[in-house]
Amino acid sequence: MGTGGRSGLRPGKGTAEGVTATATAAVASCQYRCIECNQEANELYRDYNHGVLKITICKSCQKPVDKYIEYDPVIILINAILCKAQAYRHILFNTKINMHGKLCIFCLLCEAYLRWWQLQDSNQNTDPDDFIRYAKEWDFYRMFAIASLEQTAFFIGIFTFLWVVRPMTAEKKPNFVLLLKALLLSSYGKLLLIPAVIWEHDYTPLCLRLIKVFVLTSNFQAIRVTLNINRKLSFLAILSGLLLESTMVYFFQRIEWDIGSDCAVYKPQDF
C-alpha cells in the first residue's frame, strides 16, 4: 500500500504492540468517521507489526473506513477542490489540522487586499505626501476590518439558522465548534483572490464572481458533511448567512465606509 497519505494522520490509529493492544485502545472512544456512510469508527487501520497495515472495514456499509489514508495528499486536495463529501470527511474527522485560525487571517488579508486594490484603482492619486501614504495604509486596515465583520455576519447567519432548526438536523446536539472550523477551512478558495488581482485581465470580474461561488459551494459542502444534514437545510443555511452578510454590506454602504464588497456588484475598471 502507498504511504503518501499517512504522514498527516492523527496518532493512535495503529500500534506496534500488536492487534490486541490496538483493538483495546480503540474501544475507548469512537473518534473517527467512515467517509462513505459517516458512521463512527474506532480505528482507521490496524498495525500487524513490521509495517504491515490493514485498512479497517466499516461495519455499516462494508467499505473501507477511510481509503484516503493511503492516498497522496495532492489527490486528497484535488478531491476536496471537487467538493467530494468523502474528502471532506477525511479532512474534518480523520486528520488533525490546526491551521483554521491562520488560514482565516490569511484569507481575510487576501480579501482586504482585493478591496484595497479596487479602492486605489478607483482613486488615482500619485501625490507622494506622507499623509497620503498614511491614508492609504489606513484604508487597508479599514478594508480588513470590514471583511472581518462581514465574514462574522455570514457565520452568525448560518449558526442562527442551524440553531433554530437544530431539532431537524441530528438526533444529538450539533458540534458547532467543529462546524466553525469546517467553515474556516472550506473558505480556502479566497486565496485565489490574489492571483486574480495580480494577473489582471478583462475577465477579472468574472473570475472574482466564480471564486465567490466556489467558496460558497465549499461552505455548503462543509455544513452538509459536518452536521450530516440534507442539501436543502445546508442551502438554506448558506442563504441565511448571505442575507445577514448583505445586510452588513448595506449598512457599510449607507455610512459610505465600504467599497468593492463581495456581495456588491463588481465594477470593472478600465484595464
Over residues 158-184, the pLDDT tens digits come to 999 999 987 665 556 778 899 999 999
Residue 33's φ and ψ, nearest 5 degrees, are -135, 145
| 217 against 60, higher pLDDT | 217
Amino acid at the residue 223: I
Note whether residue 120 is domain-resident.
Answer: yes
Residues 123 and 85 in one domain: no
**CB contact at 8 A, 124 and 89:** no
Domains in the chain, number = 2
Residues 159 and 247 in one domain: yes
Cα(15)–Cα(49) distance, integer angstroms: 8
pLDDT tops 60 at residue 206: yes
Q: CA-CA distances (angstroms) from residue 27 to 24, 56, 83, 207?
A: 6, 14, 32, 49
| 130 against 80, higher pLDDT | 80
One DSSP character per residue, 151-205 reads HHHHHHHHHHHHHHTHHHH-SS---HHHHHHHHHHTTGGGGGHHHHHHT--TTHH
pLDDT digits (tens, 9 = 90+) for 15-73: 334 333 333 333 345 588 999 998 888 888 887 777 777 888 998 888 899 999 889 99
| 139 against 108, higher pLDDT | 108
Residues 77 and 153 in one domain: no
- Using left for φ > 0, alpha for ψ between -120 and 50, and beta otherwise, residue 169 falls in alpha
Fill in the DSSP letter of residue 26: H
Residues 87 and 190 in one domain: no
pTM, rounded to two decimals:
0.77
Return the percent helix, strand and coil in the chain, to nearest 5.
Answer: 60, 5, 35
Residue whose C-alpha cell reads 452568525 in the numeric block: 156
Residues 214 and 123 in one domain: yes
218 SS3 class? helix
pLDDT tops 90 at residue 224: yes
Whole-number pLDDT of residue 188: 92
Cα(148)–Cα(19) distance, integer angstroms: 48
Which H or E element spans position 10? none
pLDDT tops 90 at residue 208: no
Whole-number pLDDT of residue 11: 39
Note whether residue 128 is domain-resident.
Answer: yes
Whole-number pLDDT of residue 121: 65
Residues 78 and 136 in one domain: no
Strands (DSSP E) contained in 184-269 are none
Cα(141)–Cα(125) distance, integer angstroms: 19
pLDDT exceeding 70 applies to what percent of the chain?
74
- Give, to the nearest 10 degrees, the angle between helix 73-81 and helix 85-93: 120
Look up the domain containing 245 and give its range.
97-259
Residues 171 and 101 in one domain: yes
pLDDT digits (tens, 9 = 90+) for 69-126: 889 999 999 999 999 999 999 999 998 888 888 999 999 998 888 888 877 766 655 5
**CB contact at 8 A, 69 and 77:** no
Contacts of 87 (CB under 8 A, 6+ apart): 35, 68, 76, 79, 80
Residue 177 grid coordinates? 465548534
Lowest mean pLDDT among 2-6, 93-97, 156-160, 212-216: 2-6
Residues 204 and 71 in one domain: no
Note whether residue 138 is domain-resident.
Answer: yes
pLDDT tops 60 at residue 271: no
Whole-number pLDDT of residue 113: 86
Residues 103 and 181 in one domain: yes
Which among 92, 113, 137 is the end of a domain?
92
Residues 115 and 232 in one domain: yes
Residues 74 and 104 in one domain: no
**CB contact at 8 A, 125 and 220:** no
Which among 92, 117, 135 is the end of a domain?
92
- For residues 209-213, average pLDDT: 92
Residue 46 grid coordinates? 490496524
pLDDT tops 50 at residue 197: yes
Nearest to 266 by CA among 125, 50, 115, 160: 115
Residues 49 and 151 in one domain: no
